[in-house]
Amino acid sequence: MSRNTLMGNLKMLTIVAGARPNFMKIAPIVQAILAAQKRGQNISYRLVHTGQHYDAKMSDTFFTELNIPEPHAHLGGGGGSQAEQTAAIMVAFEKELLVNPADLVVVVGDVTSTLACSIVAKKLQIKVAHVEAGIRSFDLSMPEEINRMVTDSITDYFFTTTTWAGDNLRANGISDERIFFVGNVMIDTLLANQHRFKKPDLWEELALQKGSYFMMTLHRPGNVDEESKFSALFEAIIKGAQGYPLIFPVHPRTRQVIENLKVKAAEGINRLSLKDVPNLHLTEPMGYLEFNYLVERAKAVVTDSGGITEETTVMSIPCLTLRDNTERPETCEIGTNELVGTNPESIGPMLNKLFSNNWKKGGIPEKWDGKAAERIVDILLKIG
């Protein structure tokens, strides 16, 4: 007799979250499950936080801000190299599933936790559903691309953000009946919380005004780990911003590079001295509500993040992506995003295009309407 029969056909899901991008994606799924329960649907869930992001500013604040219930389990898998982190999460998640069996493990995005927990679930003969399946940069130098490929190679049910992502899956032999085009859960969270965006203290401190400053995020190893390259990119952004304030919430890995550059500038080793840039404002990592308050009112965003390009597309904010490729081409083909590349010389002309008011207006991709999580839960209730 199956566990479902013993429990009255209750469908038990284990939902995995581990890093900052995951939290925005699981929040609407959890809320959609709770809404289904209120309608009398026989579904339950167990939320597992792997601890991949173990800094409170990168993790805990998101649970509070997005009204995500406290995780049922915290695996403490943060720290170490990617291999060490993957191994730690796998060992802990296997113990979790052995004690708390599930009918289905739901993973989101493309972080280390996504890969690690998918492998563990499949080896325990538990089916896997991947939310945000099928996106591809086709760049194997990105750890996230490897995570996506491996996860999708063993997934049972695929929930996609675009038809393009579904085409990628079909090209790899995935049958149509396992692919579900549901839309973008990141946008569910954005639209559900847009009215709650919170003005940060620095808005008044810096006398910011709508459309009169830039937001920045840089964290990808290819952009920040090599000091000379990071310095050149930074210098090009500062020059191209034409004196407009640059608000830069600094990722922990980026802050260390900046501190090294400050030391070398003081010693006369490199020419970029951040003390001589009055329009540059470095801040600690921000919560979701404060960060998006600033994004929504910015002149533009300069980033190397993928998820932010989705949010700027929906908010109609120009976005300059310092990458040579993207796994979210819809943000360029439909939205407000442009791939600038990683050559510092490309930044100035793109900023000149922005200041000349020649930036595209952009549109919103299909099904990015705030209802993706509802569609996902409706489908989960129907599949075996």
User: Which residue out of 53, 74, 130, 219 is catalytically annotated?
Assistant: 219
Is 219 marked active-site?
yes
Greatest Cα pair distance in the chain: 74
- Are the C-beta atoms of 117 and 92 separated by less than 8 Å? no
Sign (positive or negative) of CA dihedral 338, 329, 302, 238: negative
d(CA 50, CA 44): 19
Q: Which residues are catalytic?
A: 219
